[in-house]
Structure 1
Amino acid sequence: MSAEPPPVSLPSAPGLSRRRLLGMAAAAPLAATGALALGAGTAHAADSAYAMAYFTESTNLGDGTDYGLHLAVSKDGLLWTPLNQNNPVVTPTEGAGGLRDPFILRKQDGTFVVLATDLKGTDWNYNSQYIHVWNSTDLRTFTGYHRLKLHDMVTHSWAPEAFWDAGRGQYAIIYSSVNSSGHNVIMVNYTTDFVTASAPQVFFDPGYDAIDGDMTVGVNGVNYLYFKNNRSGTLLGARSTSLDPGSFTTFTSGVAHGGTEAPTVVKSLTSGTYWLWGDTYTPNGVFYAWQSTDLAAGTWTALDQRTYTQPVNSKHCGITTITGAQYDNLVAKWGAPAWNRLKSYNYPARYVRHADYVGRIDEYPIEPYKDSLWKLVPGLADSSAVSFQSVNYPTRYLRHYDYALRLDANDGTSTFAADATFHRTAGLANSSWASFRSYNNPTRYIRHYDYALRIDPISTGTEQQDATFQVGY
């Protein structure tokens, strides 16, 4: 069931866009700042990693739902490590007392400002003229919390994002709101300090309900605005050679995987590739990614789901580049999860989970989500191997019984310990992934068959793929 009503053309109840965290362009010339132009903003030359901001919603808006600021980090921009055990690092204390759509901007002085929608949960009739604001020097501490008022209209201020407009010498804050047009448009206010802002103007109005504006500034002299057509549930691109309100024209056809929202464009730090992220507008939305090497062409190719993962329960992500030191400091401050998820190689939308104490692979999102979280602990029968301890049933482990895998309580016997112990090896279908060989049946590996987990001898290419998993988060 969708957490959001169907798109409508009047004051709508759309999916609030996650904010893409882009640290935006510096006003000084690149040669003077030592920056590397990334199009979607300006990355420092030392940047070698990525940070993601998001909030969380579980399928039933229960356990795993939290409307605070969550952070994850990545070395490649595709595989993500949630920080603080996937718990929030800061939570609003004013307005609705929760946030959606967090966005982090690297400002002119190198520090960060965090913006977010003032909304907790899915009360689409809650109209806030304000957005949440924090300052941060390092994304490890957050200070100066306040709300910034953007307008006096009896409507919302959804999905704020900001970028530096060098021509104006000001930051532009764009967001979704309903004005006199009767449908959502992308509005803009200008500010120098994120404490006060100018009067609102219409930044982009395609003539239909448009939300979730995401800017990519200065690619070969062109600026790109990606947004969601809230009637069709597709992601579209508009472009302009200026940053003036009203100057953008739509130039792409729609990109979608089902009903998709929250476009986020990020450029790879190691190649000329751009990634376009979006997610489905349901609780526990599924992230999808496309790639392009030419924004001007306006065409995108879907990425293989093997190449990327999203933090569990994450919604409406925003991504920025960070330095290697910032990456290390964030992990040192908040810590990586004490658990893992295991993705299937040949069914990459599916993860290892237990259901009714039976081991299987099911499609994400999984409810309850903790059924798919595992602690890979030293093997019960051999500490050089591993055992899979359930996070939500910590007295139970995956073990084989008549070759089928099930979740059983540890009875302390040597037989149980042997049945629940597996040697991790290089993936049989891909050596960068993993396979798991049974300790007491060493000719057999964990594999899925009709989505159920078991241990079998492996010989064919299909069986090798069935027995290959990615250990991630």
Structure 2
Amino acid sequence: MPLSRRDFTRIAAMTALTSGVTVIGAQSPALAANTAYVFGYFKETPNQSGDSYALHLAVSTDGLNWRPLNQNNPVATPTAGTLGLRDPFILRKQDGTFVVLATDLRGRIFTENNQYLHVWDSANLTSLTNYRRIRMHGLNTHTWAPTAFWVPARNQYAIVYSANNGQDVFMVNYTSDFRTVSANQAYFSPGYPVLDADIVADGSTFYMYYKNLNDGLLYGARSSSGEPNTYSNYTSGLRQGNAIEAPLLIRNNTGSGWRLWGDSFSPVNNDYYAWSTTNVGANSWTVLGQRDFTPPLNAKHGSIVGITAAEYDALVARWGLPNWVRLKSYNYPDRYVRHADNLGRIDAYPFDPHEDQLWRMVAGLADSAGVSFESVNYPGRYLRHSNYAIRLDTNDGTATFRGDATFTRVAGLADASWSSFRSYNVPDRYLRHSGYVLRIDPIGTAATERQDATFRVS
């Protein structure tokens, strides 16, 4: 079995009920409609300095651009088993509350087998209670990447996970309370090795997306019952990047659209890929570019679920939004503004130290109507221009420094929904990148110049 398969975030989701559509795990129609999303994940960085094998949460109003909660620190950590988790999955149960399941595995060593899953209960994800582990089988194999959903015909929940019974397959156990489970059985064993199931229902059709380990592609299969071994493939293989795994199928809170997500295979490569469609039953997916979405910082293999406006507000009130921002390049959307050797530049994410891309966007040092960018990992140092080059320097308290470190935020020159930053004391020049290095320059009408000077604040 490949040993690197669990490296990246699995965004998996059971969205709540939207108008006219029954979704497995959905809340009662009497409950408020979902208007936002919450994302549960664990964290890894290339050199392991930012690894965290615990539950983290982020929120989004559009399901594309995410803000970590609790300053991207854990909201729950396992206290039994390996004392770590991967692949957390959040399910909204039939009563409107939540259950969180996760792989019992800490770190990047995938030779350790484990028969258990971590489990928490939660009313609204502002606290995680009743921590426990549940034993899923007695086999000498792993129990990876759980997904769960309501099966109306059984009046129970199904818990599906990746395991091996001589070949990589999906196993299933059924439960009513996420404390006791039925005997395990094979759920999907197509004759070739598979990994990372995500299962969602649209009306009476169950859709499952998974990775075929033989060719490395993602496939969609469907079933009219959701019962074990009743799925048939209906899509061709999908992949973006050099390698992909951990597919996630999620229905948008509004409209009829769907998104399919996948994670890259290596922790040093691009993190996420995504597609969209208006018809989940058709083999027709449109690639979403990285300009379209911003994952939580260092997030790995997790899950998304729809939440109400009240639940969103409660999560923000309980855990808090980050006191820092990141600046994403418009025309190189895999790159973020960072400092390196006291110079400002844009580099492809992920990188370490990952804190080099975190900025406290404070009131302008020279004019409170403007903004200044203070380094999170070097407090007291700010981005400023010197001979038009952008540097990270210590505030020396002079008027010159304050002016050099102050920018006026305006609508993005290439896209008004993004942002551009005009120099305060050289107001005919804007912050831009050139050869990946930051500087301030006059910006004309050329599309490339305007794109170089446009950033997303996230």
TM above 0.5, one fold? yes
1:115 matches 2:106: no
Matches within 5 A, 1:133-282: 133-179=119-165, 182-217=166-201, 219-257=202-240, 258-282=242-266
Aligned to 1:4: none
The residue identity in structure 1 corresponding to 2:42 is F
The more displaced of 149-158 and 457-466 is: 457-466
Q: Give the distance between the partners of 1:369 and 1:463, measured in 2 at CA.
A: 27
Q: Give the distance between the partners of 1:105 and 1:466, measured in 2 at CA.
A: 41
Pick aligned residue for 2:5 from 2, 14, 28: 14
Q: Give the distance between the partners of 1:305 and 1:17, measured in 2 at CA.
A: 17
Aligned to 2:452: 466
Q: Give the distance between the partners of 2:36 and 2:305, measured in 1 at CA.
A: 9
Q: Which SS does the other structure have where 2:58 is aligned?
A: strand
Q: Which SS does the other structure have where 2:304 is aligned?
A: strand
The more displaced of 225-234 and 429-438 is: 225-234
CA deviation string 1:13-60 (max 9, x = no partner):
5226755553477xxxx8xxx965264653655211111111000111
Q: How many residues align?
A: 452
Aligned to 2:349: 364
The residue identity in structure 2 corresponding to 1:279 is D
The residue identity in structure 1 corresponding to 2:153 is G
Identity %: 55
Pick aligned residue for 1:46 from 23, 29, 33: 33
Aligned to 2:388: 403
**1:214–1:337 distance in 2 versus 1, CA, 3 Å:** same
Q: Which runs of 5+ in 1 are unaligned?
A: 1-6
The more displaced of 130-139 and 208-217 is: 208-217
Q: Give the distance between the partners of 1:339 and 1:167, measured in 2 at CA.
A: 47
Aligned to 2:314: 329
Q: Give the distance between the partners of 2:39 and 2:134, measured in 1 at CA.
A: 23
The residue identity in structure 2 corresponding to 1:343 is K
Q: Give the distance between the partners of 1:42 and 1:203, measured in 2 at CA.
A: 22
Is contact 1:156-1:177 (8 Å) kept? yes
State the 1:251 CA deviation. Answer: 2.2
The more displaced of 98-107 and 458-467 is: 458-467
Q: Give the distance between the partners of 1:294 and 1:114, measured in 2 at CA.
A: 29
Matches within 5 A, 1:316-355: 316-355=301-340
Is contact 2:71-2:323 (8 Å) kept? yes
Is contact 2:8-2:266 (8 Å) kept? no
Q: TM-score, with normalisation over the residues of structure 2?
A: 0.95
Is contact 1:236-1:253 (8 Å) kept? yes
CA deviation string 1:67-124 (max 9, x = no partner):
1111111111111111000111000000000100001111111111110000011121
Matches within 5 A, 1:52-67: 52-62=39-49, 64-67=50-53
Q: Give the distance between the partners of 1:438 and 1:13, measured in 2 at CA.
A: 46
Q: Which SS does the other structure have where 2:402 is aligned?
A: helix
Q: Give the distance between the partners of 1:113 and 1:375, measured in 2 at CA.
A: 34
Is contact 2:25-2:91 (8 Å) kept? no
CA deviation string 1:384-426 (max 9, x = no partner):
1111111111121111111111111112211111111111111
Q: Give the distance between the partners of 1:183 and 1:80, measured in 2 at CA.
A: 36
The residue identity in structure 1 corresponding to 2:175 is T
Is contact 1:361-1:448 (8 Å) kept? yes
CA deviation string 1:311-333 (max 9, x = no partner):
11001131110000000000000
State the 1:189 CA deviation. Answer: 0.4
Aligned to 2:73: 87
The residue identity in structure 2 corresponding to 1:468 is T
The residue identity in structure 2 corresponding to 1:193 is D
Q: Give the distance between the partners of 1:409 and 1:40, measured in 2 at CA.
A: 54
Aligned to 2:21: 37
State the 1:249 CA deviation. Answer: 1.6
The residue identity in structure 2 corresponding to 1:92 is P
State the 1:363 CA deviation. Answer: 1.0
Is contact 2:361-2:371 (8 Å) kept? yes
**1:16–1:392 distance in 2 versus 1, CA, 3 Å:** closer
RMSD: 1.7
Q: Which SS does the other structure have where 2:218 is aligned?
A: strand
Q: TM-score, with normalisation over the residues of structure 1?
A: 0.92
Aligned to 1:97: 83
Q: Which SS does the other structure have where 1:211 is aligned?
A: strand
Q: Which SS does the other structure have where 1:37 is aligned?
A: coil
**1:446–1:146 distance in 2 versus 1, CA, 3 Å:** same
1:295 matches 2:248: no
Q: Which SS does the other structure have where 2:431 is aligned?
A: strand
CA deviation string 1:241-265 (max 9, x = no partner):
1111111122222212221111111
**1:13–1:448 distance in 2 versus 1, CA, 3 Å:** closer
**1:377–1:92 distance in 2 versus 1, CA, 3 Å:** same
Pick aligned residue for 1:444 from 425, 429, 438: 429
Q: Give the distance between the partners of 1:60 and 1:428, measured in 2 at CA.
A: 36
Q: Give the distance between the partners of 1:17 and 1:432, measured in 2 at CA.
A: 29
Q: Give the distance between the partners of 1:143 and 1:336, measured in 2 at CA.
A: 22
The residue identity in structure 2 corresponding to 1:413 is T
Is contact 1:36-1:45 (8 Å) kept? no
Q: Give the distance between the partners of 2:175 and 2:162, measured in 1 at CA.
A: 17
